[in-house]
Amino acid sequence: MLVFSSLTIPLSVVAAQMSVAVPLDLEKPAHAAPWQRYKAWRQNNWENYRNLRQGVTNPVSFIQNVDIPIKGNPDNGRKLVMNRRKGNCVSCHILPDAPLPGNVGINISTIGKWQRPDEFLFNYVYDARIYNPLTVMPPWGANALLTKDEITDIVSYLKTLEQPAKFNTPDENPEKRVVPIEERDNLDEFENPAMFSVDLGKTLYSQPGKTGKSCQSCHDKPEEIFSNWAMNMPKVESRLSKVIGVEEFVTRHARATTGAEYLAQSEENLGLAIYLRYLANGQAISIDINDANTRIALRRGETLVNQKIGQLNMACTDCHVISANKWIRGQYLTTVVGMMDHFPTYRTSRSSVWDIRKRFQWCNVSVRANELEPDAPEYGDIELYLTVKNNGRILSVPGIRH
């Protein structure tokens, strides 16, 4: 049973009709406003390119006229294909002497022997959509990632490649590289620093807010009350006309009850969100999709994960469906299944705990698209869609990943 003030409500009713039963702050945003991107992240403004909210048309280019034969600087071309901030071709393609190349794209280490016309090579780099509308390859020239002179140098380098790439160890070869398996015990505090967030969440649960009440004032036995609550989240909140997850629920419910201010992605918000999920560990994710509003949100989510965005012109599905189980440089691209059962998670590469919305934001910035605020409706739809894809997966929170 759940208790709100003097009202006692069965947990099943709360799960089915959250918007009716649960007090929430409906006025203020759940994030720090105005939203500002994390300072450690790239601060470019990509307003001329589509993001998940703003539709900007970046049409497929026409074939560019080039002087034949192409005569650029192959040495500069080699530098560009290896450069992470410029061509970065080795992220997806095997090339000679490339450190940890990827295999999202084909092996082009002998492309110089393929007898492809110079004009074709130039335009494929400039905008591969001319030849393949469904390509995951960024439109390097059309979206101003590379100049025409730089593409000329890259093509000049590609034309010199005639010998297959050689690898000294299997780990250098993405076709033979061992697939990473997470074997650390994520619920061991000596293995996973995020376990300290569980302790923080437990402390906050019993800590009175401005109203003099704590979470425990109304929910006295959290181990029983929340043993299967998080497995049903996120949900459509009709009063806000959007999907909200555990983190946004924590912010809005705390404001309306204890008066505490636990803004999205703050240490306190993560602590309580992790604690509430931790209490449901061992339960299978079980999102009910029978509600009409939920099905509508799912359709929106599906549209969004297939939406190409940013200067790199990439969609969620480009990495996690089309290119799943492949390597982009030294990073293994996972499928959407297995993506949601461990969030919030400790990211060893960042030495911090991230919730799923921060992961969405990072993906946006990675493809050079302006991210949205943490409680954006678009992120709610994506979170719902991906969580439904993970129905049946067992919660094990907090996670730990590289």
Interval 332-376: pLDDT, tens: 999 999 999 999 999 999 999 999 999 999 999 999 999 999 999
> Is residue 13 scored above 50 in pLDDT?
no
Residue 60 domain-assigned?
Answer: no
| Domain boundary pick from 252, 278, 304 | 278
Distance CA 395, CA 402 (A): 19
Q: Name the nearest CA neighbour of 306 among 296, 323, 318.
A: 318
328 — pLDDT class (breaks 50, 70, 90): very high
Q: Which of 126-162 are b and which e, b meaning 16 or more Cβ less than 10 Å from the residue's Cβ?
A: bbbbbeeeebbbbbbbbbebbeeebbbbbbbbbbebe
393 shares a domain with 296: yes
Q: How much of the chain exceeds pLDDT 70, in percent?
A: 95
Residue 92 domain-assigned?
Answer: yes
Q: How much of the chain exceeds pLDDT 90, in percent?
A: 91
The answer to which of 15-19, 255-259, 307-311 has the lowest mean pLDDT is 15-19
> Is residue 5 scored above 90 in pLDDT?
no
298 shares a domain with 320: yes
Tens of pLDDT, residue by residue over 50-66, are 999 998 878 899 999 99
pLDDT of residue 20: 54
> Are residues 331 and 320 in contact, defined by beta-carbon separation less than 8 angstroms?
no
387 shares a domain with 307: yes
Residue 334 domain-assigned?
Answer: yes
Distance CA 247, CA 286 (A): 18
pLDDT of residue 4: 32
pLDDT of residue 84: 85
Residue 69 domain-assigned?
Answer: no
Task: Average the pLDDT over 303-313 and give the result.
Answer: 97
Residue 180 domain-assigned?
Answer: no
> Is residue 402 scored above 90 in pLDDT?
no
Tell me what the pLDDT averaged over the chain comes to.
93
Tens of pLDDT, residue by residue over 208-255, are 999 999 999 999 999 999 999 999 999 999 999 999 999 999 999 999
> Is residue 109 scored above 50 in pLDDT?
yes
336 shares a domain with 296: yes
Residue 201 domain-assigned?
Answer: yes
397 shares a domain with 297: yes
Residue 55 domain-assigned?
Answer: no
Tens of pLDDT, residue by residue over 193-208, are 999 999 999 999 999 9
Domain count, the chain: 3
221 shares a domain with 154: no
| CA 180 to chain centroid | 19
Distance CA 125, CA 111 (A): 13
Q: Name the nearest CA neighbour of 376 among 276, 247, 256, 274.
A: 247
| Domain boundary pick from 225, 247, 278 | 278
Distance CA 356, CA 24 (A): 21
Residue 39 domain-assigned?
Answer: no
> Is residue 17 scored above 90 in pLDDT?
no
**Angle at alpha carbon of residue 318, lines to 316 and 322, rounded to 5°:** 125
156 shares a domain with 242: no
> Is residue 11 scored above 90 in pLDDT?
no
> Is residue 262 scored above 50 in pLDDT?
yes
93 shares a domain with 159: yes
306 shares a domain with 272: no
304 shares a domain with 388: yes
Tens of pLDDT, residue by residue over 22-34, are 999 999 999 999 9
CATH classification at residue 202: 1.10.760.10
pLDDT of residue 341: 97
371 shares a domain with 332: yes
Full domain range(s) for residue 92 = 74-172
Distance CA 105, CA 7 (A): 59
305 shares a domain with 272: no
